[in-house]
Amino acid sequence: AHLDRIAAVDERVHAFLHVDADGALDAARTVDARRAAGEELGPLAGVPVAVKDVLTTRGVPTTAGSRILEGWRPPYDSTIVERLRAAGTVMLGKTNMDEFAMGSSTEYSAYGPTFNPWDLSRIPGGSGGGSAAALAAYEAPLAIGTDTGGSIRQPGAVTGTVGAKPTYGGTSRYGLVAFSSSLDTPGPCARTVLDAALLHAVMGGHDPRDSTSIPQPVPDVVAAARAGATGDLTGMRLGLVREFATEAGGEPGVTAAFRDAVDALTKLGAEVVEVSCPHFEYALPAYYLIAPSECSSNLARFDGVRFGLRAGDDGVRSLEEVMSLTRDVGFGAEVKRRIMVGTYALSSGYYDAYYGQAQKVRTLISRDFTAAFEQVDVLISPTTPFVAFPLGSRTADPYQMYLADLFTIPTNLYGGPAISVPCGLSEGLPVGLQVMAPTMADDRMYRVAAALE
């Protein structure tokens, strides 16, 4: 049914870069056979899932939205995909994304944008716009995203779906095409909080192949989502970040929908208090030094030799010329901008002034979170300052695009979990509410989010 739905609507939505119909039907038949043989299967056995094209899939094209990886079929599965297969889920295909997960609208995909199913003239968010649009268009019931600065939560917010960024290190990065290794976090995308929790439980947990993976079991997110669904938040303290309220750029309709949701949470028994996180205003500038610095280092591996594209290989050019030509035609403008910013920030003599300084700011932001969580159980905010914007309206000025992640980026710098859950409409378009929790308290975040649903 999902393959039929994709065939019917994806020409207009363009959520998928690759549909693996044969692989999906094979996987579904295998699950049927196992069930017929009386095998006990997990809760997601037979459930279709769409995977962001930044996670490796054995033998199935993986481009990370870039020309430079065109035609690359990885020889191995990422840990996340391996776990999805082991759980009996059925992978439908790979979803569209901003090139190397750099962007907030999916307009920076080298393969053309994804369109928001709510209004095809608007963006579906990014970088994981393909995964979110696939859910909103009912092309898939579950999807995988990755969140470095908001790429799961912001697409969730603008497509009226649920997106969760787990605690950093709670989900494996093995087989994830790296953007910013100290921030990249795979996570679940779904249409309900419980579905997201079920997917989280299957994909998460310690992986010895990822050196930053946390050697602890995933908190019981499924039980927490079920507990939250009873709608009782008595005794729960929710914090509103004072500094977010004064940030420029928030649309009045978004603020109004968020306020209504806060009232609803209060009626469920939660206590809402204001807290101050004085360093959050520096999160965006710190992120745009740290993420490009790490990306400039990570993307050095795309040299025209090891993966995908090779340009200018006519037998008379030098290795350096081939590398340079390959990178010139293989990378898009936003990726080049970040490589240049990152290379500059890491260069000798500037390291302390830029990268070192940004790392110190990162520590101060983490301390803001720690102090806030001494007063409240979770922090809440709108997920993004504005609803889905028209295609093309923010591509001219990179800063306008970066603002989409104003409220999501602090969490990535800290490393804790955060989820976006639909909380109403503004001018007929979805608005998301974000719940941020302390590191390894992913269960608490699901509990609050499920109550709102």
Chain positions contacting ligand GLN, by CB under 6 A: 101-104, 127, 147-151, 179, 291, 405
Whether 127 is catalytic: yes
Give me the count of residues in the chain.
453
- Supply the DSSP symbol for 404: G
Q: How far is the CB of 387 from ligand GLN (least distance, A)?
A: 16
Q: Give which of 218, 253, 191, 246 is closest to 449, Cα–Cα.
A: 191
Any bridge partners for residue 94, and if so which?
18, 51
Nearest to ligand GLN of 237, 337 (CB atom): 337
Q: Which of 131, 151, 213, 426 is catalytic?
A: 151
Active site residue 348: no
Alpha helices in 163-272 (DSSP H): 193-203, 221-228, 242-246, 252-267
Partner residues linked to 162 by β-bridges: 190
DSSP reduced 3-state for 212: coil
CB of residue 255 vs ligand GLN: minimum separation in angstroms? 21
Q: Which of 52, 78, 104, 296 is catalytic?
A: 52
Q: Return the number of the residue (166 or 228) whose C-beta is nearest ligand GLN.
A: 166
For 103, residues 6+ apart whose C-beta sits below 8 A from its C-beta are 126, 127, 334, 401
User: Please, which residue, 123 or 140, has the CB nearer to ligand GLN?
Assistant: 123
- Catalytic residue check, 360: no
Q: At its nearest, how many Å lie between ligand GLN and the CB of residue 289?
A: 12
Residue located via tokens 């693996």: 20
CB 107, min distance to ligand GLN, A? 11
Smallest distance, ligand GLN to C-beta of residue 381, A: 16
- Residue closer to ligand GLN by CB (options 210, 377) is 210
Check 66, 78, 105, 127 and give the catalytic one. Answer: 127
* 107-112 contacts, C-beta under 8 A, 24 or more apart: 107/391, 107/392, 107/395, 108/65, 108/332, 108/334, 108/335, 109/17, 109/65, 110/63, 110/65, 110/66, 110/67, 110/70, 110/332, 111/17, 111/63, 111/65, 112/14
- Dihedral sign of CA atoms 301, 332, 18, 133 in order: positive
Least separation in angstroms between CB 267 and ligand GLN: 33
Our CB check for ligand GLN shows the closer of 377 and 442 to be: 442
Residue number with CB closer to ligand GLN (154 or 326): 154
CA atoms within 13 A on the CB side of 114: 39
For 356, phi then psi, to 5°, come to -60, -40
Which residues lie closer than 8 Å to 150 by C-beta, 6 or more apart?
Answer: 104, 383, 384, 404, 405, 407, 408, 409, 412
Please, which residue, 19 or 158, has the CB nearer to ligand GLN?
158
**Least distance CB 147 / ligand GLN (angstroms):** 5
Cα distance between residue 110 and residue 206, in whole Å = 33
Q: What is the DSSP string of 251-306?
A: -HHHHHHHHHHHHHHHHTT-EEEEE--TTGGGHHHHHHHHHHHHHHHHGGG-SSSS
d(CA 38, CA 399): 56
In whole angstroms, the minimum distance from the beta carbon of 290 to ligand GLN comes to: 10
Residue 262 or 291 having the CB closest to ligand GLN: 291
Catalytic residues: 52, 127, 151
